[in-house]
Amino acid sequence: MSGIRVMAEALEIKLEDTREWLEQETISVVVPLKAEGRRLLDDVKAKLNDVLETSDKLLDAAERKIAKGSRKTYRRAKVMYKLARNISEIIDEVTIPDEISQETLHTLCEELGKTLTKVGRERWKWFPVISPYFIMDRRRFDVALKRAMDSLEEIRSFSSDKYTKAKAVEDAFSTIDKLHESLSELDKVEKHKKKTELRRGVLEKKIEENRQKITAIQGQSEIVELAQINEKVEELKKKVKHSLRYLQKPFLKFQSLVLSSSYSLFLDETKKLNEYLSNSFEAFATEEKGYPMLKRILQKMDDAMAQGKLKLKKSRLRKAKDQADDILHKNALLSLHQSCKEALSKKQQLSTSGIITKSRNELAQLQKNLRDLQKRKELLDSRGTVLEKKIKENFEKIEDQKRELEKIILELTNNKVQVLL
């Protein structure tokens, strides 16, 4: 065989040539064992036929006695007739295999053992009922049953003792088949992984293209300017919130008073009060110069406190009055108000420009596409991890099977062999 190389330490044999080589190496052991196994199977078959034959004779003898109608033997003949028929049916269920292998021998021993045990139980149960009649027929049956049991013990002993070398060869062949299956499975998984990696590469390219387009749009002067003004707006929001921090709780209590009709405000004042509680920056930035609405709200809130309708804790009241006084009489927020108005106006101007609207739509679509692509890539990454694990497990299984095969071959042939995959 061209797939065999003799090395200094071991024979190197390709996996596809291993079965044929091993068959040749073990033929002198396996063939005689198979022949002996066949002889034992034929013997079992013959012994079972003898049991069937003696059972048929029991049946014939019973029929003759039944036909005579003797009161002495009629009932016993009926029992024997039923027994013989049952035994024949039980024996007929046994299948003698055509192929000799450890599996077929083991299966036969298991099934035949159960069958003969069942026949023995029937015999033990009914022969005392039939006694003392049909003595010769019963003796012939007992002899046939004993010989069948002896034949079973012989093949059972052969299967568990002599046949072990042939079983080792069968195990080697089974391991060869498993190796082929494992290699085929590994090949399929590796091809699947390769396809996954190709798809992953395509996705990575698309993701990079999307990112470049997003960067290009974000780099446009109008977009950059809008981003800068948005940052400024965020800073101003914090400043407004800080500048009105001691008025938030009073505003909330004042709103409750107004809603409960305990204190009256004009509709525009009520609306502005709600705005200061929900979005203080926009409420402040949309005020006219000098923020008159805020001042009116503060004045009326001060009136409500003077009337005892709006009550605050002493420490909270002092801080609120100080902050309100700064706004009403010291114009503490003039500079901040001007900055807020300018920032909001610039943001609105940029946000409604045609270039920004178009760029924003393009950017939103690109970002959506990017998220979709990244999700698909994550799925492929996850699948790739699973496939990588499967490949590793397959390699380990193949190595285990290869070592097992080489070990069996060494024990069978006394040859150190390296199986080439």
Q: Is residue 369 part of a domain?
A: no
Q: Is residue 173 part of a domain?
A: yes
Instruction: Please compute the mean of the pLDDT values over residues 8-32 and round it to a whole number.
Output: 86
CA distance 351 to 328: 33
CA distance 316 to 274: 21
pLDDT at 43: 92
Instruction: Please compute the mean of the pLDDT values over residues 77-103 and round it to a whole number.
Output: 86
Q: In whole angstroms, how large is the CA radius of gyration of the chain?
A: 49
Q: Is residue 411 part of a domain?
A: no
> Mind listing the pLDDT tens digit for each residue in 203-226?
999 999 999 988 877 766 576 677
Choosing from 296, 319, 352, the residue where a domain stops is 352
Query: How many domains are there within the chain?
Result: 2
Residues 172/22, Cβ–Cβ less than 8 Å? yes
CA distance 122 to 117: 9
For the cut 70, the answer to whether the pLDDT of residue 355 exceeds it is: no
Q: How confident is the model at residue 353 (pLDDT cuts 50, 70, 90)?
A: low
User: In terms of domains, do 247 and 166 share one?
Assistant: no
Residue 48 or 354, more confident: 48
- At 62, list the tokens: 């019973």
For the cut 80, the answer to whether the pLDDT of residue 153 exceeds it is: yes
Q: Is residue 200 part of a domain?
A: no
Instruction: Please compute the mean of the pLDDT values over residues 156-182 and round it to a whole number.
Output: 90
Angle, helices 15-68/135-160, rounded to nearest 10 degrees: 170
Q: If you search the block for the tokens 């200061």, which residue do you land on?
A: 276
User: In terms of domains, do 315 and 171 share one?
Assistant: no
User: In terms of domains, do 30 and 158 share one?
Assistant: yes
User: In terms of domains, do 49 and 92 share one?
Assistant: yes
Does pTM surpass 0.75?
A: no
Residue 68 or 85, more confident: 85
Residues 405/179, Cβ–Cβ less than 8 Å? yes
- For residue 350, give the H/E element and its range: helix 334-351
Q: Is residue 87 part of a domain?
A: yes
pLDDT at 221: 59
CATH number for the domain harbouring residue 92: 1.20.120
Amino acid at 110: E
pLDDT at 6: 47
> Mind listing the pLDDT tens digit for each residue in 91-123?
888 888 888 888 888 988 999 889 888 888 888
> Mind listing the pLDDT tens digit for each residue in 35-72?
999 999 999 999 999 988 988 888 887 788 787 777 77
User: In terms of domains, do 130 and 241 share one?
Assistant: no
Pairing mode, if any, of strands 417-420 and 4-6? unpaired
User: In terms of domains, do 232 and 335 share one?
Assistant: yes
Side by side, the strands of the sheet bearing 4-6 are 4-6, 11-14, 417-420
* Eight-state DSSP code of residue 151: H
Instruction: Please compute the mean of the pLDDT values over residues 8-25 and round it to a whole number.
Output: 85
User: In terms of domains, do 247 and 318 share one?
Assistant: yes
CA distance 409 to 22: 8
CB-side exposure of 361: number of CA atoms within 13 Å? 6
- At 167, list the tokens: 């079983």
Q: How confident is the model at residue 7 (pLDDT cuts 50, 70, 90)?
A: very low
CB-side exposure of 245: number of CA atoms within 13 Å? 7
User: In terms of domains, do 174 and 244 share one?
Assistant: no
For the cut 60, the answer to whether the pLDDT of residue 164 exceeds it is: yes
pLDDT at 8: 46
User: In terms of domains, do 44 and 106 share one?
Assistant: yes
Residues 153/120, Cβ–Cβ less than 8 Å? no
Percent pLDDT > 70 in the chain is: 95
Q: Is residue 13 part of a domain?
A: no
pLDDT at 356: 65
User: In terms of domains, do 227 and 165 share one?
Assistant: no
Residues 156/37, Cβ–Cβ less than 8 Å? no
User: In terms of domains, do 178 and 254 share one?
Assistant: no
Amino acid at 124: W
Residues 119/83, Cβ–Cβ less than 8 Å? no
User: In terms of domains, do 121 and 23 share one?
Assistant: yes
Q: How confident is the model at residue 175 (pLDDT cuts 50, 70, 90)?
A: very high
pLDDT at 131: 78
Within 161-279, residue ranges assigned H as helices are: 164-218, 221-243, 248-259, 267-278
Give the range of the structural domain holding residue 138, as residue numbers without chain letter. 18-192
Q: Is residue 413 part of a domain?
A: no
pLDDT at 220: 64
Judged by DSSP in three states, 417 sits in: strand
Q: Is residue 244 part of a domain?
A: yes
Choosing from 337, 352, 367, the residue where a domain stops is 352
Residues 116/87, Cβ–Cβ less than 8 Å? no
> Mind listing the pLDDT tens digit for each residue in 218-260?
766 576 677 888 899 999 999 999 999 999 999 999 999 999 9
